[in-house]
Amino acid sequence: NNGDGTFETTIQPTAILGETASADIAPPKILINSPTNTDYTHSQSVPINVAVTDTESGVVLTETKLDGIIFTGSAIDSFFEKLGDHQLVVHAVDRVGNPSNLTATFRIVATPESTIADVERAYALGWVDNIGVKESLVKKLQAVVKAEIDKVLATAFLNELEAQKNKYINDQAYQLIKEDIEWLLSH
């Protein structure tokens, strides 16, 4: 590879195909069982269940991306994802080189219950480091829920969240919980 006539590296073939397999012109078949085209809450774990098959030459490569970034896990922890639309794209290539792609689109949303769960998780992670602040936020969220997303109570909640920011609530918790409340108010 450097032009001196000496081989620096020997690369073995990735596929040795027989006559039948080498005639393969069909791309791999991809089935995305989960996630489905539905809403998942911010507090849910979204399982990844994908099946890729190629009966002629076999599958040599499967790659899964979440919002354009390679994803290798078995589930999406939606707590760490932004609210709104997301795409899971599965790319597969068979041993002959036939490519195939399939996309699943889903949405992560906030509900009153998931917002309370998010506050609890933020506390468990140490993002909210005062139990009194956590309990106050949960009580205010419960009042907001009872009032069917009362805008005045939600605004009061946001004011307390702002007041506790960088005192007992770190920026990650603040941004996540604020995003949940704004989602609830606009949806």
Answer yes or no: is pLDDT of 10 > 80. Answer: no
35-49: per-residue pLDDT in tens?
999 999 999 999 999
pLDDT tens track for 75-126: 999 999 999 999 999 999 998 889 999 999 999 999 888 999 999 999 999 9
Residues 50-71, mean pLDDT to the nearest whole number: 93
**CA 23 to CA 184: how far, in whole Å?**
55
The answer, yes or no, to whether residue 1 has pLDDT greater than 60, is no
The answer to whether 181 and 157 have CB atoms below 8 angstroms apart is yes
Kindly state the tokens that stand for 120: 């609890």
Lowest mean pLDDT among 68-72, 100-104, 142-146, 180-184: 142-146
Cα–Cα nearest to 133, from 90, 182, 92, 166: 166
The answer, as to whether pTM is greater than 0.85, is no
> Chain-wide mean pLDDT for the chain?
88
Report CA torsion sign: 107, 110, 113, 116. positive
Mean pLDDT within 169-179? 93
Q: What does the alpha-carbon distance between residue 184 and residue 187 come to, in Å, rounded to a whole number?
A: 5
CB neighbour list of residue 157: distance below 8 Å, 6 or more residues apart? 137, 140, 141, 144, 181
- Spatial distance between the Cα atoms of 139 and 143, rounded to a whole number of angstroms: 6
